[in-house]
Each structure stands twice: as structure tokens, then as C-alpha cells.
A and B are shown apart, each in its own frame.
Chain A
Amino acid sequence: MFNFYLLSSVLLISLIFFFLGNNRAKNLVKLNQKNLHSLTHYYGVYSLLASLLPALGIFFIFTICDDLIFAELIKKHIPKEVVASKDYNFTIVLAQINNSVEGLIFGTPPQWVTNAAEIWISWIHKSQIITVIICISTALISGFLGYKKISGNFRSRNAVEKIVMSILAVSSVIAILTTIAIIFSVVFESIRFFALIPYDEFLFGTVWNPQFEGAERAGSGQEGLSQYGAIPLFAGTFLISIIALCVSVPVGLFSAIYLSEYATSKERAFFKPLLEILAGIPTVVYGFFAALTVAPFLRSSGSIFGLDVASESALAAGLVMGIMIIPFISSLSDDVINAVPQSLRDAGYGLGSTKNETVIKIVLPAALPGVVASIILAVSRAVGETMIVVMAAGLAANLTANPLDAVTTVTSQIVTILVGDQEFESAKTLSAFALALTLIIITLGMNFYALHVVKKYREQYE
């Protein structure tokens, strides 16, 4: 609420400056009997921006930084004997203090925690007062300076445009920042993971059995109880993707061929959006469908043939995922096939070939790079898909090629490890980041490869 009131008052001040600037410009026009360089409202907008932007900047810096600074400062208020003790962990201590600040008190915290929390609260009050004073005064001063600048030969439109342009440029940097944030968050934690577990064990180990350190200790004192061999996860991901492709490639490809070559334009206009609905259904719905409809169906039909199908099987997850990625293949391939120039088809017909021969021998080879790219993109979608496998494929890290068994995938392990509370230091939590890193590398690699295929093998017809 505090932030809301502060921001509204800053906004109010800058609006006042807008009217002041606008009026000043109007008066100048009246006084000099001559138009200014820019329209009067540009002078208003200039004063508004001059007062608003610096104040906002300072506000954001303050709100982001205060917790970080407090966390540094509070270290002084933690008693030495606590810091010196063996299982001292600053993150946990900080969480204790923060809970106490927010009034969430579990049991009776030690006296020093309560004291530190009181100090912290007093800092919050101080920083709020400081933020108010600095933000409001910045808004007033810089707004006034902007207002002062307004004169007969000040080109306010150019100034405003410069500011707006830079705002546009800054917002386009957000995309880069997001990428950096993703890489930063994943790579750093992965490095910490690989410091604990050698990367060859991770990449080539065949047993995946992560355990929290507490659990290890609680076990019979065995060392190396938890194992981080990711091969079963890769195998599970691979198996499910293959099953998904077995469903989606024939269905998607034949649909694309039919839609682009045989269908009337009415049929096309009806079926193409219909297929695209499949891509718009939330994955959690597919997961629910897989777990509650497809898996029991497979189980019961498997038992008719005497097959033992696990209640959470790779087959159920793969089939449903295949349904989900049909539109990725059908729509993209349809676009690519449509892009093959009509002259090629006409040439084929001119030589007396049937539609089938034209499609198989002329159109498809011409469209092949695009078709391959669409399949690769569909695979990368399947590899990164999470909810279906979490809900339908199970969590057992079996190293198996049997589609009737339960398998687990990279994404579902990430979710199971990271959902709920976790201690950030343990190898188990960190392993999720290493898995995420491999996931990013795989999906981005496929994406790049697909683009490369399209670029390299695309025939230039025109």
C-alpha cells in the first residue's frame, strides 16, 4: 500500500508539471505572438517526463536494493557464537529473521532473532521515510528544472522524441535481459552442481536416485546413497518423444498433404483451425486426459492381451503428447507445401503425372527442408513438454525401452525436485538446474538445427 500511495503522489506531481509546462508554453505563444518550435503539449509532456522518470528510477532502485542492503547490514547483529557455530547458514538465519519481521513466528525464536527483527523493522521505517523524501524531492526538483528549460527556442518535441525512442530501445533490451537471466540462473547453479557431482557421472551414469542430504544421513550411514546418472531420464524423454512422433508424424504429414493438395478451400478453412485447437488446449488438460482416460484404457486393453501395462506408462504419455504436437507438424508442413511454386506442380501435370506422383516426387522433395524443420520443432516441443509427463508418465527412473513401463523424463524430474520447499545448497536441488541446462541445450540446439536446415536446403525458386 505504501508503494501505491508513493507512486500515485509522484504521478500526481508529474501531472501538475504537465499542466504547468503546457500553460507556460501557451503563455509564451501569446506573449511573443509567434508559434513555438513544437506544439504546446509537447512542452507539457517534457515537464511531465522530466519529473516522472528520475523519480521512478530512484523508486525502483530503492525498493529492489533495500532488502539486499539490509541483508548485508543485519550480519552485524547476529551474535558471534551463532556465526561461529558449526551448522551456521546465513540463508536460513535470514529466513528466520524475515519470518519474524512478517509476524510469522514458529515456536519461540531465540532472543537475538527477535532483536534483529526489531532492528530490521526500524530500518524498514527509516528507508520508507527516506524513499518518500528522496522520490518526492526528485520529482519536484527535476520537474522544476524541466519546467525552467521551457523557453522560446527550446525544441521540446525533439527532446520528448529522444526520450520515447530510448524507452523503446530499453524495452527491446528486456528480451536480452531475460535470456541472460535464464542462462545466469541455470549455468551458475549447474556449475555448483558439477562441483559436487562430476559431469561424466551425470551424463553417463545409469542410476538416477536423488536424495536430500538429510535423508542420506538418516539412512544407515551409507555413502553415495544418492546417484545422479541422467541416462534413464534422457532415455525416458527419448522414448516418449519417439512414441509421440509415431503418432504425430504420419497423422500430421498426411493431413498437411491432404489439406494443401487435395482439400477444397472450404475444407481447408474448416479443418486447419480445427486441428490448431489441439495446440491451444492447455497441457494440464492433456495430462488429465492421459492419466484418467488413456492410461486406464491402455491398462484394461493390455490385460485383454495378457500384457502388463503399468498404470503410469510411457505409452499413454507418448500417445497423448503425439496428439498435442499434431498441429505443429500439420500446420507448419502445410505452410511449407503451399509455398512450393505452382509452376513445379504444373510442370509435373504437363508431363502426365497424377496428383500422387506430383506430390510424392516433386512437391514433397521441394518442401522437404521445411517439413524436416517442422518435425524437429515438434520434437523440441515434445522434449520440453512437462505437464503430460508429470501427470501420466510416472516418476520411476527406469532405464527401459518398453513403452508399457513407467519412465521419467528430464522435465518431470525438474518439477518434482523443485516443487515445494527446498534447501538451495543440496545436490538434489542443484541437479534440477543441471537438468534444465541440458534441456535448454537440447531444445535450442534443435531449434538452431531446424533453422539451419531451412536456410541451407531451401531452394530459391523465384
Chain B
Amino acid sequence: MNNKIITPLEASDKVKKSIAKRRAKDNRLKLYGRVAISLAVCFLLILFYSIFSKGYSGFFQYYVTLDINFDRERIDPKGDLSDNSLFDGEASKIVNESLFSIIQPQGRKAKKQAKKIVSSGKDVRIAKMVKNDPSLFGTTTKVKFALDDDIDSFLRGYIKRETPESERRISNKVIEYIDKLNEEGRISYEFSDYILSGSASGNPEMAGIKGAFIGSMLTLSVCLLIAFPLGVATAIYLEEVAKKNKITEFIEVNINNLAAVPSVVFGIMGLAIFISIFGMPRSIPLVGGMVLALMTLPTIIISSRAAIRAVPPSVRDAAYGVGASKLQVIFHHVIPLAMPGMLTGTIIGMAQALGETAPLLMIGMVAFIVDVPNSILDPGTVLPVQIFMWADFAERMFIQKTSAAIIVLLGFLISMNALAVYLRKRLERRW
């Protein structure tokens, strides 16, 4: 900077010369901003695209249609349709025979390979069918069976015909059989009836999210029942009842700290307190719900307090003016007016809890559980953990199933958040 005094004319000249540069700088900053936002949106789109492009096909799978002769003697040897009797029956054998009659495998080895074409859940499927409709006995009906996951991957084109046989998971013989089935028009690509109604399974073609979904719902309801009343009560106490002193300040600091604690730490606490000290069983939705409730509590408290604070003092004064007691003011006037805000916060907290994985891993909800949980005391798992487990499995078909499960999860989260936004828009009052 030199201290030479310049005339106004020179000054304006200087400004004029630099103005293009300054404008360009301005535009550049604007451009950076645009680029940054479009980058972020791009990330979002890529994420959604990669999930959806893989996931939508996870809702479908390949089936083979076979003519099944429902021979009561063989399927239900005791004739009482009990699980035991159906288990002793020869349903799998009947399916295999029907399959063999089409593809005509020669020799033991070929038969062994051919048996694997149809998913191992075939006997369960037949048992279910005859239980639902015993009049099937004695008839010959066309039944659809899921194909094994390797065959499914082959039909989808993930396993290539050109790959040398030794590096392929399915042999030339099997490909020949599949071509035969295809020629007869017996193979179809349909909406999977396993993905939504099946449970955890080691066979990807039979794996479904029903168990995890119900586990999620049970866990979330425990979480809601604990976190909502506690959160709202705490918010009311801190905003309306408590005097501002050291204790309430301490509580406030605590709540803010809890909001900053990583979620995995809540899992450790659940493990050390609920499971180790109180001796609660592992893997049950009750413990999961309790841990998630403690985790979402700060979210609910903070948003409920904001909602209570937004209720104008004039409402309270008016109520006091006609002789209401403090509790009547709170419960008859403040809470009803603050409820939309509280609900919004609660829904957002629940969405957080629905997507949470790490703390539930700690308390053992990662166990491989085939049965659908019936109550909050049955061992179960939840959707995000199911996704985590499936993502680890090696079979190709699990990638599609995982993505499909993610789509279901995202669908729920998006609708919950949309509900929160709608509630806020709809019920929000301007004072």
C-alpha cells in the first residue's frame, strides 16, 4: 500500500478497471456454491440409484413350474396333516420326480446336480399348500417353486455361460437342464413371495424380511412407549415447572451431552447394565427398545421443549386469569398447543431409532434367528441389522435382497419424515 494521494478521477478509473475482476470473483463464488450443492445432490442421487437399481430386482426372483401329484399316502403318511406327519412325508421326492420327468437326468451324479435346481424349501411349500387347502390331495396341480440362488444368478446373467466350467458355480449339465426347462416355458420371473413373507435364511432364494420387520416394529413400539412419555414429561418439567437453578442446569447439560454420545456407547451401556447386571436375556426387542429409547430421549426432549417454548405466554396468562391451577394450565392448554411440535420431534426420533444398527449389535440382536418374534421377549432382529448381516454373506443373490430390504427401510423412513413435515406444516400455528 503506498500512501500517494490519488485524485477522484484516478480512483474511479482504478475501480472501473478492477470491477470486471471483482465481478468475476463474485460469479466464481456463486459457481462454487452451485457446484457444491450439485455435488451433494449428485451423491444423493448416486446413492439412491445404486440402491434402487440393485434393489428393485430383489423383489423378484425366478420360479420353475412343476406338475405335482398330490398323493396323500406319500405327502402325509399319518393322514392327520400334523407337522410331524408332513415332515415324514416324501414331498421333496415328489418334486424331484416331477423335475426328473422333464429333464431326464442320467446317472446318480446328474440326478444329484439336478436336485439342487429347485430351492430346498420345496417340501415346506408343499406342506403349507396342503395345510391351507387339503382338497389338493389326489389332484395333479401346477406348482411354482423358487429356483436355487446360483441358478437365479445365472438366469439374471451374473453367472456367464462363457465362463469356463471349472470357474463357474454351476456345471454345463445344469445349464443344459435349465435350457430344457426354459424351452418348455416352465421358468418364470415373478414377484418374490419370499422377500416380504419369508424370514432369515441361509438360502438366499428363501430369505425374507418378515422376521426383521416385525422385530423392528416391536422394538420401535417399546422405544416409543418409553421415550415419548419420559421425553414429554422431562420437557414439561424443565420448561414449565422447574425453577432455574443448579440442578435443572445440570439436567440440561446432561441432556445435551447425551445427544452427543455416539450411538455405539448406548449399546455398551445396554450390554453392561441391562444384560450383565439386570440379567435380561440377549437379542430381545425389549432390551433393544430400551436402549434405543435412551438414545432418542434427547431428541424428543429438545424438540418438545422448543414446542412448549413456542406457546405464547398470553395463553398461559389467560388460563391463570380464569383461575386454572398450574397443572391445569399445562395439561389443558400448553400441551395440546405444543403437541404437534412434540409429535414431530418424536417421529423424527423414531425414524432415527428405526435406522440405528450399532447399539443393537452390542446387545446381541445380530443373532441368526429364523422364527418370527411373537412378543417383545422373543429373540429377534431388526431391519438395519438384517441388512448388515445380509451384506456380509457371500452369495450373489443376497446383494439384491439386501438392496430390497434397504428400499423397504428407506420407504419407511421417508414416509415417517414426510409425516413429520406434514404434521409440522398442517398443525403449525403462527402466533
Q: Which A positions have Cβ atoms within 8 angstroms of B?
A: 64, 67-68, 71, 98, 157, 160-161, 164-165, 167-169, 171-176, 178-179, 181-182, 184-186, 189, 250-255, 257-259, 261-263, 271, 273-275, 277-278, 280-289, 291-293, 323, 326, 330, 352, 354-357, 359-360, 377, 380, 383-387, 390-391, 411, 414-415, 418-420, 424, 432-433, 436, 439-440, 443-444, 447, 451
Q: A419: nearest residue on chain B (CB-CB)?
A: B361
Chain A nearest CB: distance from B254 CB in Å?
5
Q: Are A178 and B297 in contact (CB under 8 A)?
A: yes
Q: Are B355 and A168 in contact (CB under 8 A)?
A: no
Q: Are B388 and A391 in contact (CB under 8 A)?
A: yes
Determine if B422 is an interface residue (Cβ-Cβ < 8 Å): no
Chain A nearest CB: distance from B115 CB in Å?
32
Q: B26: nearest residue on chain A (CB-CB)?
A: A356
Determine if B257 is an interface residue (Cβ-Cβ < 8 Å): yes
Chain A nearest CB: distance from B164 CB in Å?
22
Determine if B308 is an interface residue (Cβ-Cβ < 8 Å): no
Q: Are A282 and B409 in contact (CB under 8 A)?
A: yes
Across-interface contacts of B266 in A (CB, < 8 A): 182
The verdict on A172 contacting B40 (CB below 8 Å), with A432-B268, A444-B257 known, is: no
13 chain-A/chain-B pairs, Cβ below 8 angstroms: A161-B325, A172-B234, A178-B269, A184-B273, A185-B272, A186-B268, A251-B39, A251-B40, A259-B37, A280-B355, A284-B387, A292-B399, A411-B358
Q: Compute how far the CA of A273 lies from the CA of B44 in the bound complex, rounded to whole angstroms.
A: 12
Q: Are B326 and A161 in contact (CB under 8 A)?
A: yes
Secondary structure at the A interface, as helix, strand, loop or mixed, is helix
Across-interface contacts of A168 in B (CB, < 8 A): 233-234, 236-237, 241
Digitize B257-281: 1 where CB-to-A-CB distance is under 8 Å, 0 elsewhere: 1101111111111011100101100
Across-interface contacts of B265 in A (CB, < 8 A): 182, 186, 384, 436, 439-440
Interface size on B, residues (CB 8 A): 86
Q: B257: nearest residue on chain A (CB-CB)?
A: A444
Q: Which of B46, B269, B406 contacts A288 (CB 8 A)?
A: B406
Digitize B279-311: 1 where CB-to-A-CB distance is under 8 Å, 0 elsewhere: 100000000000000100110010000000000
Q: A287-B388, A330-B40 are in contact. List 9 more A-B contacts (CB 8 A).
A: A169-B237, A174-B297, A179-B257, A186-B265, A274-B44, A281-B355, A282-B409, A384-B264, A415-B362
The verdict on A356 contacting B357 (CB below 8 Å), with A161-B326, A254-B33, A443-B262 known, is: no
Q: B355: nearest residue on chain A (CB-CB)?
A: A282
Across-interface contacts of A161 in B (CB, < 8 A): 325-327
Determine if B32 is an interface residue (Cβ-Cβ < 8 Å): yes
Across-interface contacts of A360 in B (CB, < 8 A): 29
Across-interface contacts of A414 in B (CB, < 8 A): 264, 268
Q: Compute how far the CA of A443 lies from the CA of B402 in the bound complex, rounded to whole angstroms.
A: 32
Q: B361: nearest residue on chain A (CB-CB)?
A: A419
Q: Compute how far the CA of A282 lies from the CA of B399 in the bound complex, rounded to whole angstroms.
A: 17
Q: Are A436 and B264 in contact (CB under 8 A)?
A: yes
Q: Are B236 and A418 in contact (CB under 8 A)?
A: no
Q: Which residues of B from 84 to 127 have beta carbons under 8 Å from A?
A: none
Q: Which B positions have Cβ atoms within 8 angstroms of A?
A: 15, 22-23, 25-26, 28-30, 32-37, 39-41, 43-44, 46-47, 50-51, 229-230, 233-234, 236-238, 241-242, 250-251, 254-258, 260-269, 271-273, 276, 278-279, 294, 297-298, 301, 325-327, 351, 354-358, 361-362, 364, 366, 384-385, 387-388, 391, 399, 402-403, 406, 409-410, 413, 417, 421
Chain A nearest CB: distance from B420 CB in Å?
10
Across-interface contacts of B30 in A (CB, < 8 A): 258, 262, 355
Q: Compute how far the CA of A250 lies from the CA of B265 in the bound complex, rounded to whole angstroms.
A: 30
The verdict on A415 contacting B361 (CB below 8 Å), with A178-B294, A185-B269, A274-B41 known, is: yes
Q: Are B261 and A182 in contact (CB under 8 A)?
A: yes
Q: Compute how far the CA of A425 lies from the CA of B37 in the bound complex, rounded to whole angstroms.
A: 51
Among B33, B230, B355, B406, find the residue whose CB has the most chain A CB atoms closer than 10 A. Answer: B33
Chain B nearest CB: distance from A52 CB in Å?
15
Q: B235: nearest residue on chain A (CB-CB)?
A: A172
The 9 A-B pairs with the shortest beta carbon distances in the complex, nearest first, are: A258-B33, A384-B262, A282-B355, A185-B272, A254-B36, A171-B233, A386-B358, A356-B26, A168-B237
Chain B nearest CB: distance from A296 CB in Å?
11
Q: Compute how far the CA of A396 lies from the CA of B34 in the bound complex, rounded to whole angstroms.
A: 39
Q: Compute how far the CA of A255 lies from the CA of B32 in the bound complex, rounded to whole angstroms.
A: 8
The verdict on A185 contacting B268 (CB below 8 Å), with A169-B242, A356-B29 known, is: yes
Q: Are B33 and A255 in contact (CB under 8 A)?
A: yes
Across-interface contacts of B417 in A (CB, < 8 A): 280
Across-interface contacts of A64 in B (CB, < 8 A): 278
Q: Which of A278, A354, A387, A432 contacts B44 (CB 8 A)?
A: A278
Q: Which of B260, B272, B356, B388 contacts A380 (CB 8 A)?
A: B260
Across-interface contacts of B361 in A (CB, < 8 A): 415, 418-419
Q: Are B298 and A175 in contact (CB under 8 A)?
A: yes
Across-interface contacts of A330 in B (CB, < 8 A): 40
Q: A186: nearest residue on chain B (CB-CB)?
A: B268
Chain B nearest CB: distance from A439 CB in Å?
6
Across-interface contacts of B15 in A (CB, < 8 A): 352
Q: Are B406 and A447 in contact (CB under 8 A)?
A: no
Q: Are B32 and A254 in contact (CB under 8 A)?
A: yes
Q: Compute how far the CA of A287 lies from the CA of B35 in the bound complex, rounded to whole angstroms.
A: 25
Q: Are B269 and A411 in contact (CB under 8 A)?
A: no
Q: Which of B268, B366, B410 contacts A436 (CB 8 A)?
A: B268
The verdict on A179 contacting B273 (CB below 8 Å), with A254-B35, A387-B357 known, is: no
Q: Compute how far the CA of A419 lies from the CA of B363 in the bound complex, rounded to whole angstroms.
A: 8
Q: Are A165 and B29 in contact (CB under 8 A)?
A: no
Q: A436: nearest residue on chain B (CB-CB)?
A: B268
The verdict on A411 contacting B264 (CB below 8 Å), with A157-B325, A355-B26 known, is: yes
Q: Are A433 and B268 in contact (CB under 8 A)?
A: yes
Q: A429: nearest residue on chain B (CB-CB)?
A: B271
Q: A359: nearest residue on chain B (CB-CB)?
A: B29
Q: Are B47 and A289 in contact (CB under 8 A)?
A: yes
Q: Which of A182, A281, A289, A291 contacts B269 (CB 8 A)?
A: A182
Q: Are A172 and B237 in contact (CB under 8 A)?
A: yes
Across-interface contacts of A165 in B (CB, < 8 A): 241, 327
Across-interface contacts of A357 in B (CB, < 8 A): 22, 25-26
Q: Compute how far the CA of A420 lies from the CA of B367 in the bound complex, rounded to whole angstroms.
A: 8
Chain A nearest CB: distance from B387 CB in Å?
5
Chain B nearest CB: distance from A394 CB in Å?
13
Q: Are A285 and B387 in contact (CB under 8 A)?
A: yes
Q: A273: nearest residue on chain B (CB-CB)?
A: B421
Q: Compute how far the CA of A160 lies from the CA of B327 in the bound complex, rounded to whole angstroms.
A: 10
Chain B nearest CB: distance from A292 CB in Å?
7
Q: Compute how far the CA of A243 lies from the CA of B356 in the bound complex, rounded to whole angstroms.
A: 24
Q: Compute how far the CA of A355 lies from the CA of B33 in the bound complex, rounded to whole angstroms.
A: 13
Across-interface contacts of A391 in B (CB, < 8 A): 388, 391
The verdict on A175 contacting B255 (CB below 8 Å), with A165-B327, A278-B44 known, is: yes
The verdict on A323 contacting B26 (CB below 8 Å), with A415-B361, A419-B366, A439-B265 known, is: no
Chain A nearest CB: distance from B343 CB in Å?
17
Among A254, A285, A433, find the residue whose CB has the most chain B CB atoms closer than 10 A. Answer: A285
Across-interface contacts of B34 in A (CB, < 8 A): 258
Q: Are A384 and B263 in contact (CB under 8 A)?
A: yes
Q: Compute how far the CA of A394 lies from the CA of B301 in the bound complex, rounded to whole angstroms.
A: 36
Chain A nearest CB: distance from B388 CB in Å?
5
Across-interface contacts of B279 in A (CB, < 8 A): 67-68, 71, 98
Across-interface contacts of B272 in A (CB, < 8 A): 184-186, 189, 433
Q: Compute how far the CA of A274 lies from the CA of B417 in the bound complex, rounded to whole angstroms.
A: 12
Chain A nearest CB: distance from B350 CB in Å?
12
Q: B362: nearest residue on chain A (CB-CB)?
A: A418
Across-interface contacts of A176 in B (CB, < 8 A): 250-251, 254
Q: Compute how far the CA of A424 lies from the CA of B44 in the bound complex, rounded to whole angstroms.
A: 42
The verdict on A175 contacting B50 (CB below 8 Å), with A284-B384, A444-B260 known, is: no
